[in-house]
Amino acid sequence: MSEKPAYTKPLPDLRPEDAPFWEAMKEHRFILPCDDTGKPFWYPRKYAPGTLSATSWTDAKGTGTVYTYSTHFIGPSKAYKGDPPHIVALVDLDEGPRMMTILVKDEDGYPSLDPEDVAIGMKVQIVFDDVTDEITLPKFTPAA
Amino acid sequence: MKTSVEDTGMAEGTPDIKEARRMLGKGICIAGVGETEQGIISDRGSFELLTEVTRTTLDDAGLQLSDVDGIVTAFSFVESTLMHSTTLADYMGMKPGYFASVAVGGATAPLMAVQAAMAIDAGLAEVVLCVRGDNTRSGISSSGMIAMAREMSHGAYEAPFGLTTIGGYGLLAQRYMYEHDIPQEALAAVVATQSEHAALKWNAMLRDAVTVEDVMADRWIATPFHAMDCSLVSDGAAAFIVTTEARAKNMKKKPVYITGIGEGFSHQYISEAESVASVRDGLGRAGRRAMEVAGITPQDLDVAEIYDSFSFTPLIALEGFGICGPGEAGDWVMEGNAKLGGKLPMNTHGGLIRQAHLGAMHHIVEAVLQLRGEADDSDKTEFNGGNHQVPGAKLAITNGSGGILAATSALVLSSEPPSAA
């Protein structure tokens, strides 16, 4: 296998409170933050939004439904130049929270899903894309 | 139609309408406005543009710089300073008694007016210059542009998926269109309507009137937006002077009164937006409250200068403000109600998608010109201006939204002083 080309697309800002999430992603485990009543929320924060309660992490299934999407013909930086359109989506996870992701084919390199294959309300499941040695991004693909 | 804040069921408590009326009852008014040319102005820097428009605006009000005792500015994408208002004050040689820089994205301009009104009410200043401008188009670096794009995304949980600001609005717009069965033509009708208005406005960047078909045939940027559905990136500046009726008496122009103010917030990141309804309610609160403070209903309005970062943006605002019912704004625009000569002419200057993008500054300036009866640019023959005046306009609503419809501020402006003074 040849070396992967350097990844030049945006990488997540890393804050101390996010470390458990990215550690889990690296191990291909999907976890969600919960408040002190066990209710999961998104996006992760050290203290729960609204109540500022202590938080913990819980395993999540990585399945959900497309709430909405936008097919991007232009990306946010030069790294997207020449790419086919990419589909940014908001997915309602089965556990409740809504998260942003990108819709891909479950194939080598996770290429973008074709725009005509996307619809609001479609069922999707997580795939783990190891974009660098340190960062694995939660992408979603049509549910099997 | 919901018009009272209490109806919204939002958790932030009941704002004191009476207290807002008391403040505005002092006859808080806009006594001067100004705007520079807009577009690609590569021969002038950010502070130069701000100063140029300050000169025009002082002249409009019949004031000297020494008459101004307060300054409210915004921010710059080009000039890096954490003290924007005082940096500009120093550049212009002012020693203001009141200074503030407001930075809430597209909501900034109406918030600047509110900030000025509160400063006047608190006795901190009497004549407040509110000025915003930048050479965003010519002066920004490509890394600055990327930073600006990332600014509206969550840095950890949105930006890595390649979200753009356009696509962030696109996410909400596609859901809105799905829920209410809104055709693509409704978005295009907003662009076509405003293009007819921009054709008359002397400093609009895009002066050609386009049709719904033109917009539909344009290249895609991020669904559901074609290039023409998106706002412009421009250089330029605009300003207005806030003072009291008593002070404005000795000035050159007829004052335009701020009779209603309101704000609303629903989410910061688009992932956090609960629903189309919650976004509509959150931003709508700003306009509904402004009208409640002013003691008016949507039917009383003569002109609407509604923030239009994208063609979709005014649709959801029209609904949130109660001007149209939920899901009805698209038909309302397609029926021609937003055109000059229609039921409620909207963005009579062309807006962010046809005139220029300076947040909501130009929306305020245009509303003031409309209420002074000065929105006829026919005499500006060198700019091929035309008449975009709404005959006899007395009441206007205007707003701005920051982020992806995250934070909204709205004003009701009136040619008459507030009745509940």
Pairwise CB contact (< 8 Å): A76 & B272: no
Interatomic CA distance for residues B363 and B348, integer angstroms: 9
pLDDT over 80 at B12, yes or no:
no
Interatomic CA distance for residues B234 and A70, integer angstroms: 25
In angstroms, what separates the C-alpha of A84 from chain B's closest C-alpha? 12
**Nearest Cα residue in chain B from A42:** B272
Which pLDDT score, from 0 to 100, does residue B13 have? 44
Interatomic CA distance for residues B356 and A105, integer angstroms: 40
Residues of B in contact with A9 (CB under 8 A): 160, 162
Question: For B236-262, what is the mean pLDDT?
Answer: 96
Question: For B65-88, what is the mean pLDDT?
Answer: 94
Interatomic CA distance for residues B319 and B326, integer angstroms: 5
Tens of pLDDT, residue by residue over B302-323, are 999 999 999 999 999 999 999 9
Task: Name which of B153, B155, B220 is nearest A73 (Cβ-Cβ).
Answer: B220
**Nearest Cα residue in chain A from B273:** A98
Provide the whole-model pTM: 0.95
- The answer to the question of residue B110 being in a domain is yes
CATH for B384:
3.40.47.10
B403, amino acid identity: G
Q: Which residue has tokens 């005046």?
A: B389
- The answer to the question of residue B119 being in a domain is yes
Which pLDDT score, from 0 to 100, does residue B1 have? 38
Return the structure tokens found at B330: 């698209």
**Nearest Cα residue in chain A from B274:** A98
B352, amino acid identity: L
Interatomic CA distance for residues A139 and A102, integer angstroms: 5
Q: Count of domains in chain B?
A: 1
Which pLDDT score, from 0 to 100, does residue A3 have? 64
Residue extents of the structural domains in chain A: 16-142
Element (H, E) at A86: strand A86-93
- The answer to the question of residue B408 being in a domain is yes
pLDDT over 60 at B5, yes or no:
no
Tens of pLDDT, residue by residue over B181-229, are 999 999 999 999 999 999 999 999 999 999 999 999 999 999 999 999 9
pLDDT in tens, chain A (144 residues): 456 679 999 999 999 999 999 999 999 999 999 999 999 999 999 999 999 999 999 999 999 999 999 999 999 988 999 999 999 999 999 999 999 999 999 999 999 999 999 999 999 999 999 999 999 999 999 998
Task: Name which of B166, B222, B271 is nearest A99 (Cβ-Cβ).
Answer: B271
Element (H, E) at B31: strand B28-35
- The answer to the question of residue B198 being in a domain is no
pLDDT over 80 at B146, yes or no:
no
Pairwise CB contact (< 8 Å): B164 & A75: yes
Q: Tell me which residues of chain A, numbers 31 to 90, contact chain B at a CB-CB cutoff of 8 Å.
A: 42-44, 67-78, 80, 86, 88-90
- Local confidence band at B27 (pLDDT 50, 70, 90 cut-offs): very high
Tens of pLDDT, residue by residue over B363-403, are 999 999 999 999 999 999 999 999 999 999 999 999 999 99
Helices B165-180 & B184-198, crossing angle to 10 degrees? 120
Residues of B in contact with A111 (CB under 8 A): none
Of the residues A13, A70, A112, the best mutation for testing chain B's interface (the one with the most B CB atoms within 10 Å of its CB) is A70
Task: Name which of B156, B157, B171 is nearest A70 (Cβ-Cβ).
Answer: B171
Query: Three-state DSSP class for A68?
Result: strand
Structural domain boundaries, residue B257? 5-139+232-414
ipTM entry = 0.96
Which pLDDT score, from 0 to 100, does residue B9 have? 40
- The answer to the question of residue B396 being in a domain is yes
Q: Out of B272-276, B292-296, B345-349, B416-420, which region has the weakest mean confidence (pLDDT)? A: B416-420
Task: Name which of B142, B150, B222 is nearest A73 (Cβ-Cβ).
Answer: B222
Pairwise CB contact (< 8 Å): B159 & A77: no
Euclidean distance between the first and the last CA atom of chain B, given in angstroms as a whole number: 27
